Structure 1
Amino acid sequence: MSGERRAAGSRARPAAAPIPPRCAPGPRSPRQVCAPGLRGRRGPGLVARPREGGGGARALGWGTASGAGGRAGAAASRRCGMAARPPSSRSQRTTGSTCLHALSELLGLPLDQVNFVACQLFALFAAFWFRIYLSPGKTSPDVRHALVTIFGIYFVIFCFGWYSLHLFVLVLMCYGIMVTASVSSIHRPLMIVTQKITTLAFQVHDGLGRRAEDLSAEQQRLAVKVKPSFLEYLSYLLNFMSVIAGPCNNFKDYIAFIEGRHIHAKLLEVNWKQRGFHNLPEPSPTGAVIHKLCMTLVSLLLFLTLTKTFPVTCLVDDWFVHKANFLTRLCYLYIVMQASKPKYYFAWTLADAVNNAAGFGFSGVDKNGNFCWDLLSNLNIWKIETATSFKMYLENWNIQTATWLKRVCYERVPWYPTVLTFFLSALWHGVYPGYYFTFLTGILVTVAARTVRNNYRHCFLSSRALKVVYDVVTWAVTQLAVSYTVAPFVLLAVEPTISLYKSMYFYLHIISLLIILFLPIKPHAHIQRQPQTLNSVNKKKKD
């Protein structure tokens, strides 16, 4: 089970506190806000935090910060009629370690969030030490496996306390299934857990239970043809680099990293003699790590300021729902959803930096000869913010989770891959209604966007000016569509979601349905998306 899906287990619910009279008469729990039905799991003016796929961003909830960011957040909370809660009640509620309680009180942040950041920072330094002093040339793979597993187990216990037993029991049960089940059905029982275990399950199934000619080229490359040892299995699932915040990675890539073949194999893909090298270079991740840490720092500052100033709870405030005009609601929704991103940017970029610092994540050499350390990157911020299509946005957000969904669902199901992949994603995130609102809306928007693109994009490619106009319009539409679609993901409950969509007149649902009903959908699109196996290639050659 990935780190971000376990973060929620480390918190208990706070004690109730009265709401100021301006929101509504009578006492209420701090889990309530002005709009009835909107409930949060954290505290003042906070909705329940989203449970996303890729990583430990969930550990960065909507906690109130001290200083300027805290004052801005408090002001926004008062605007939305939300109550304040003493920081001590936030910081004490955790099943993990309490040794950082004093720091939690000083910062005014919940203790589970402080524990998360502390573990990731410690993991960063441990990763540098691991790469330098326990490199494959100095240490055996077994020692590297053992140490990353021990550190990972310690981090899990530090963050989640006795809740970590849930993770350990699942890991051990699934290993027992893997070594005893038939190879032809090994992927079925392991689907009860997420990402890494299901990734490994399908890759073992591909390597031991299917014929090579029935696999796509990608499936052949990743197929695991020998069952992993118990130490390899534990190391892959519980290593300290990714046990808290991810990201997901392939078993063969991880084993190659532990055994010291990870970078060398990528370098062999390049003809270095033509580039003037007599020996293979030795790429260093230091530059990539420093760059990602700078991005992490900027994201943290934005989280402590922008995110606090525009909390998502204001989307169901009386002013937004009943008084603001439609254009104002549209713009404010975009701003609020933009303000919700920095916590994800922080968690995922920091997790990427930790893996790179350990020497894991090298993806090869780009066309300019630069070394790339983005094999495990979970997002591309520039492409997200400049996306001109719903598809482009999703491809660059939570990349490793999207890749996992593609490999275990989209490429394997025979019918309705888009619908089933969205449904699996919602089911994996949890059972909150908001997730299903988001993913059902996402299906409509994806199909509608693809239909418009297939029918009209070619009309704007005849001149550079038209292409610029097309890009600007599609960028604006994409950003607004994403904001509209993902809002229920952070609101979670049914009532606030319906309240928000009613205030927006369900405009995107209506437009998407009209597009799907009245514009032609090319029937061969699905066939083009099917994975190409050796059998399909041979069949085409015969034809």
Structure 2
Amino acid sequence: MHRNLGLKHINGTQWKVGKDQIKFPNRVSDNFVPYFSGMCKKSEQLTPEQKRLAISVRPSLIEYLSYTLNFLGVLVGPCSDYQDYVDFIEGRHISKRLKQHSQTCNGQNGYDKTPDLSPLNAVCRKLLVCCGCMLFFLTVTRSLPITYNVNPQFVSTAPFLTRLTYAFFSIQAARPKFYFAWTLADAVNNAAGYGFSGIDENGKPSWELICNLNIVGIETATSFKTFIDNWNIRTGIWLKTVCYDRAPKHRLALTFLLSALWHGVYPGYYFTFITAIPITMAARAIRKSVRHHFLGSSGLKLGYDILTWAATQLAICYTVMPFLLLAVESTMTYYRSMYFHIHIISILAVIALNWKHKPREPAATTKTFSSASSFSSPSSDQCQLSVRGVLT
């Protein structure tokens, strides 16, 4: 499968076939993992979400094939949980979600007290987003090609800040094609009646159950984690379910490596996800050490948010560039032109901040004092008992 994806996707040809193939493992594991949880684990060993998704009865062959070969996700997904898919096929997905929001239905499970649940508005809104993304792609994206970042003349003559600025805008311009594909896939599922997630806080129906991205969350992300949480959401949930929540140790590294392996065999994928490991660790350490100093006033908080937004967007730009360049030579040309600065800063930040927060061994005098206290404690306890005896 990966070999087929590599051969067909190298120049962007037969893209639909390759993308459908890399979604197949998601559906297989999304069926197997809940089945394992439901059949091989005790209820008390599962989290509430794992209990909800657990499969306690083995699916029939037709149910399994219907889920894994679901034509609604034949283009680019998105992935969905098996139990949610079964609820949709059997016609109880909406009523089940309404029961979770019974307060909006005035105690009833019917439709008479709820707003119009038609997906028409959601589908039209998402199709408008697709049109905007397509227009942006045809007018802006093509004028900022990613490959220009490794153009020999540009790399050798342009100043560092110019190269950094072009990299930033070319990555920003590359996102709408992903926005288009994922939003269109979501709209297709909604048009078929799949994707109802319940009633939102404003009392309106929400069709975001299998939404794969949050464009506003991506563009305004002030941390590496926030960006990841809003990008390719369903695949992120899948990675968390099958790897991060189940790995005994090194969960972050194993999850990023699995993501690279799932995407395919191109070296650029591995450069991207391996680079993301120290960046994520550094972002965690910096947030833990620095953020609380900026919460004293709204002005400081605003300045902190602006700074972290810029740092996050530049870090994302640096990280995902190999994902789009794909080849080793192009990736190394880009990283050399950037002087590996994100790698260096991230690794130094992790080392420095982890060393700062590392618990130190108690001094010798402290140990001696603790030992003396431990020897004296029995006598002091006896003293307290004798005093209590006298008082009583």
* TM-score, shorter chain, exceeding 0.5: yes
Question: CA 1:288/1:309 → structure 2, altered by over 3 Å: closer, same or farther?
Answer: same
Counterpart selection for 2:60 from 229, 232, 236 = 229
Q: What is aligned with 2:167? A: 333
Q: What is aligned with 2:219? A: 385
Moved over 2 A (4+): 5-12, 272-282, 520-524
d(CA) in 2 for partners of 1:433 and 1:305? Answer: 30
Q: Does 1:434 align with 2:278?
A: no
Q: What is aligned with 1:214? A: 45
TM-aligned CA deviation for residue 10 of structure 1: 8.8
TM-aligned CA deviation for residue 461 of structure 1: 0.6
Q: What is aligned with 1:350? A: 184
Q: Which has the higher contact order (CA 8 A, sep 6+)?
A: 1
Contact 1:267/1:280 (CA < 8 Å) preserved in 2?
no
d(CA) in 2 for partners of 1:291 and 1:508? Answer: 38
d(CA) in 2 for partners of 1:490 and 1:456? Answer: 32
TM-aligned CA deviation for residue 505 of structure 1: 0.6
User: Which residue identity lines up with residue 206 of structure 1 in the other structure?
Assistant: S
d(CA) in 1 for partners of 2:3 and 2:128? Answer: 27
Q: What is aligned with 1:360? A: 194
TM-aligned CA deviation for residue 7 of structure 1: 9.2
Contact 1:390/1:449 (CA < 8 Å) preserved in 2?
yes
Question: CA 1:250/1:209 → structure 2, altered by over 3 Å: closer, same or farther?
Answer: same
d(CA) in 2 for partners of 1:6 and 1:264? Answer: 43
Q: What is aligned with 2:104? A: 272
d(CA) in 2 for partners of 1:496 and 1:259? Answer: 50
Contact 2:105/2:113 (CA < 8 Å) preserved in 1?
no
Which is richer in helix? Answer: 2
Question: CA 1:296/1:523 → structure 2, altered by over 3 Å: closer, same or farther?
Answer: farther
**Residue-by-residue CA offset, 1:160-218 (whole Å, 9 max, x unaligned):** 9xxx9xx7xx99xxxxxxxxxxxxxxxxxxxxx61110111011111111111111111
Q: What is aligned with 1:244? A: 75
d(CA) in 2 for partners of 1:490 and 1:395? Answer: 20
User: Which residue identity lines up with residue 297 of structure 2 in the other structure?
Assistant: S
TM-aligned CA deviation for residue 243 of structure 1: 2.2
User: Which residue identity lines up with residue 257 of structure 1 in the other structure?
Assistant: F
Structure-2-length-normalised TM-score: 0.85
TM-aligned CA deviation for residue 405 of structure 1: 0.1
d(CA) in 1 for partners of 2:52 and 2:281? Answer: 31
TM-aligned CA deviation for residue 275 of structure 1: 9.0
Secondary structure of the residue aligned to 1:272 is: helix
TM-aligned CA deviation for residue 300 of structure 1: 1.1
Structure 2 unmatched runs, 5+: 360-392
Question: CA 1:302/1:275 → structure 2, altered by over 3 Å: closer, same or farther?
Answer: farther
Structure-1-length-normalised TM-score: 0.62
Q: What is aligned with 1:468? A: 302
Secondary structure of the residue aligned to 2:104 is: coil
d(CA) in 2 for partners of 1:275 and 1:325? Answer: 65
Q: Does 1:260 align with 2:101?
A: no
Q: What is aligned with 2:25? A: 194
User: Which residue identity lines up with residue 260 of structure 1 in the other structure?
Assistant: G
Question: CA 1:480/1:343 → structure 2, altered by over 3 Å: closer, same or farther?
Answer: same
May I ask how many residue pairs the two structures share in their alignment? 354
TM-aligned CA deviation for residue 11 of structure 1: 4.4
Contact 1:285/1:356 (CA < 8 Å) preserved in 2?
yes
Larger Rg: 2
d(CA) in 2 for partners of 1:288 and 1:278? Answer: 18
d(CA) in 1 for partners of 2:168 and 2:197? Answer: 34
Q: What is aligned with 2:346? A: 512
Counterpart selection for 2:145 from 311, 314, 318 = 311
Secondary structure of the residue aligned to 1:249 is: coil
Contact 2:104/2:203 (CA < 8 Å) preserved in 1?
no
d(CA) in 1 for partners of 2:121 and 2:60? Answer: 34
Q: Determine what percentage of the aligned residue pairs are the same residue.
A: 50
**Residue-by-residue CA offset, 1:472-510 (whole Å, 9 max, x unaligned):** 000000000000011011111111111111111111011
Secondary structure of the residue aligned to 2:35 is: helix
Structure 1 unmatched runs, 5+: 13-40, 43-60, 62-109, 117-158, 172-192, 525-543
Contact 2:3/2:265 (CA < 8 Å) preserved in 1?
no
Contact 1:433/1:492 (CA < 8 Å) preserved in 2?
yes
User: Which residue identity lines up with residue 31 of structure 2 in the other structure?
Assistant: L
Contact 1:289/1:357 (CA < 8 Å) preserved in 2?
yes
Q: What is aligned with 1:451? A: 285
d(CA) in 1 for partners of 2:313 and 2:274? Answer: 18
TM-aligned CA deviation for residue 244 of structure 1: 2.4
d(CA) in 1 for partners of 2:96 and 2:127? Answer: 27
Matches within 5 A, 1:45-194: 61=12, 112=14, 194=25
TM-aligned CA deviation for residue 361 of structure 1: 0.5
